Amino acid sequence: MTPLQALQQYFGYSNFRHSQEAIIQHVLNKQDVMVLMPTGGGKSLCYQLPAVLLNGLTVVISPLIALMKDQVDSLNLSGIPAAFLNSSQDPEEQKDIAVQLKNNQLRLLYVAPERLFGKDTRLMVFLKTLNVVQIAIDEAHCISQWGHDFRPEYLMLAGLKNEFPGVPVIALTATADKLTQKDILDKLNLQKPAVFISSFNRENITYRVNPKKNSFNQLINFLEERKDESGIIYCLSRKSTEALAANLKDEGFSAEAYHAGLTNDIKAKNQEAFLRDDVKVMVATIAFGMGINKSNVRYVVHVDLPKNIEGYYQETGRAGRDGLPSDALLLYSPGDAMKLKGFAQVENNPEQSAIMLKKLDDMVNYCQLHACRRQYLMQYFDEAFPDNCGSCDFCLSEFVKFDGTLIAQKALSAVARVKERFGVTYIVDFLRGSRSEKIWGDHKLLKTYGAGADISKADWQRYLRELIAMGYLRVTDDAYASLRLTPKSELVLKGLEKVELISSQTTDEKETASLNF
């Protein structure tokens, strides 16, 4: 059977998506692979289909016991024999699965990492007697301390390649951050891995950020227009999920709460009800959603500021898996940012604190952005996205634009004059003619010094952010975060390209501009 035939016969799809076919071919050729695909991209198929074609057992390592059952049920429904082993099963059930494994009756076995690599080595010893032909590691970013979802038990997977030499490992994640990628490859010890990075763009999702004023009223207005549709509302705290769900119920909405502090029974009940469309709105902490495969989620709202872009993007990605138009709305307040800044301090770990703060800073910049949001997101994931998207609040908006070419020229030449060695704060001071000793001493003779004294500090910061977002400037990755020119800058400096900026008068930016990390 060819992969395409298996796709049609077992999964009922006519074509492969993204690079599914190439990924599958690598696994079939016994090569290690790392797969980066956005949520909803179709990662599971990348190991489930080889599992059907390969004559042996595929071991799937997955972090969330609660989700294994769903995956296994749906495989069995498609006629693919699969099972999971976890602590929720009684000894009889486990024995039954062991017998099936021994008789080579199963194609996929789902286990949690601690089950395989924990103190009790019986499962490992047993699996090594079987014909294991593929190992899939779901949510592979959990292995990285730099990621947003580190799980220490994933570190145990370092022994995988030793325990199963020659068995191809496929690591999958929806988190694309560079450090995390490197960590996955290093820590899993993958051998000459092929790396597949799919486009992270989710065309059918419209991104919006509104200033948070009275979040409950804002939510009601948003939900009124979507009464029959299903959606997820993310809150920061467990308590607020319950309070908000109760308040929404009082207003006649069909809502339930979900967070890690609820009993397993209640979590399962609420999740089921949501999946079956009996409950329309799930008010949840970020504990909800990983691995949830509900195709018709029409919107995701963040009532509180997410801690980083990775988490935000993964959560919003749960909308619109069916490809139909869907909405992502974030309610932003600078106060939330201050609060999170406090949380981002990791005790005795300045390096990690710095990374978390930088990620938070990127998140705040996204909220304060006056440029295409999708372009910013794609840039964040190192993906080229040259044009405005036409489907974010900026692209769709009433924001008034003006010819900002002269302003852009001043900013770009200031960056050039100081030899691209300084960051945003310094450039703004320089443009405004600050008399701080360093600037006055070093640069007062340069031509652009003080050329922008008529523009406020907050506006300059905003313009620089817009220029960065539009690719006329870039920020270095190092600790200095210096501003550098780009190939596009030259066109502006030579007067060959006009630049449109956003007028500050028409927006709520005044409220947020004062917050400057």
User: Is 50 among the residues that bind ligand ADP (CB under 6 A)?
Assistant: no
Long-range contacts of 221-227 (CB under 8 A, 24+ apart): 222/299, 222/301, 222/329, 223/248, 223/253, 223/281, 226/298, 226/299, 227/253, 227/280
CB of 332 to Zn ion, least distance (A): 17
User: Is 329 among the residues that bind Zn ion (CB under 5 A)?
Assistant: no
To which residue do tokens 């975060």 refer? 481
Q: Which does 199 bind (CB under 5 to 8 A by kind): ligand ADP, Zn ion, none?
A: none
Q: Which is nearer to ligand ADP, 76 or 295 (CB)?
A: 295
Q: Which does 461 bind (CB under 5 to 8 A by kind): ligand ADP, Zn ion, none?
A: none
Which of 338, 223, 323 is CA-nearest to residue 282?
Answer: 223
Read off the DSSP letter of residue 317: T
For residues 299 and 225, the answer to whether their CB atoms sit within 8 Å is no
Q: Which is nearer to ligand ADP, 298 or 321 (CB)?
A: 321
For residues 399 and 506, the answer to whether their CB atoms sit within 8 Å is yes
Q: Bridge-partner residues for 484, per DSSP?
A: 474
Task: Work out which of 6, 10, 24, 43 binds ligand ADP, going by CB under 6 A.
Answer: 43
Q: Which is nearer to ligand ADP, 289 or 404 (CB)?
A: 289
Task: Work out which of 23, 27, 33, 42 binds ligand ADP, going by CB under 6 A.
Answer: 42
Contacting residues for 98 by C-beta, under 8 A, at least 6 apart? 126
The CA-atom distances, in angstroms, between 201 and each of 174, 181, 232, 316 are 12, 18, 20, 12
**In 3-state terms, what secondary structure has residue 227?**
coil
Q: Which does 389 bind (CB under 5 to 8 A by kind): ligand ADP, Zn ion, none?
A: Zn ion
Q: How far apart are CA 458 and CA 174, in angstroms?
A: 35
Q: Which stretch binds ligand ADP (CB under 6 A): 37-45, 177-185, 190-198, 280-288?
A: 37-45
For residues 189 and 160, the answer to whether their CB atoms sit within 8 Å is yes
Q: Which is nearer to ligand ADP, 9 or 121 (CB)?
A: 9
Burial degree of 98 (CB within 10 A; 0-12, 13-18, 19+): middle
User: Is 78 among the residues that bind ligand ADP (CB under 6 A)?
Assistant: no
CB of 301 to ligand ADP, least distance (A): 20
CB of 258 to ligand ADP, least distance (A): 18
Task: Work out which of 10, 16, 110, 472 binds ligand ADP, going by CB under 6 A.
Answer: 16
Q: How far apart are CA 443 and CA 39, in angstroms?
A: 49
User: Is 247 among the residues that bind ligand ADP (CB under 6 A)?
Assistant: no
CB of 138 to ligand ADP, least distance (A): 8
Query: Tokens representing 277?
Result: 């469309």
Handedness of CA 398, 404, 405, 409 (dihedral sign): negative
CB of 234 to ligand ADP, least distance (A): 17
Q: Which stretch binds ligand ADP (CB under 6 A): 33-41, 150-158, 201-209, 246-254?
A: 33-41
Q: Which is nearer to ligand ADP, 24 or 160 (CB)?
A: 24
User: Is 389 among the residues that bind Zn ion (CB under 5 A)?
Assistant: yes
User: Is 321 among the residues that bind ligand ADP (CB under 6 A)?
Assistant: yes
Q: How far apart are CA 366 and CA 374, in angstroms?
A: 10
CB of 210 to ligand ADP, least distance (A): 27
Q: How far apart are CA 228 and CA 280, in angstroms?
A: 7
Residue 401 belongs to what H/E stretch?
Answer: strand 401-403
Q: Which stretch binds Zn ion (CB under 5 A): 62-70, 266-274, 385-393, 501-509?
A: 385-393
Q: Which stretch binds Zn ion (CB under 5 A): 29-37, 215-223, 392-400, 408-416?
A: 392-400
Task: Work out which of 26, 280, 374, 410 binds Zn ion, going by CB under 5 A.
Answer: 374
For residues 299 and 328, the answer to whether their CB atoms sit within 8 Å is yes
User: Is 295 among the residues that bind ligand ADP (CB under 6 A)?
Assistant: yes
Q: Bridge-partner residues for 403, per DSSP?
A: 500
Q: Which is nearer to ligand ADP, 22 or 125 (CB)?
A: 22
Q: Which is nearer to ligand ADP, 37 or 371 (CB)?
A: 37
Q: How far apart are CA 113 and CA 108, in angstroms?
A: 15
Q: Which does 270 bind (CB under 5 to 8 A by kind): ligand ADP, Zn ion, none?
A: none
**Which residues within the stretch 344-373 sit at the binding site for Zn ion (CB under 5 A)?**
372
Q: Bridge-partner residues for 207, per DSSP?
A: 328, 392
Which residues are at the interface with Zn ion (CB under 5 A)?
A: 372, 374, 388-389, 392, 395
Which residues are at the interface with ligand ADP (CB under 6 A)?
A: 13, 15-17, 20, 37, 39-45, 293, 295, 321
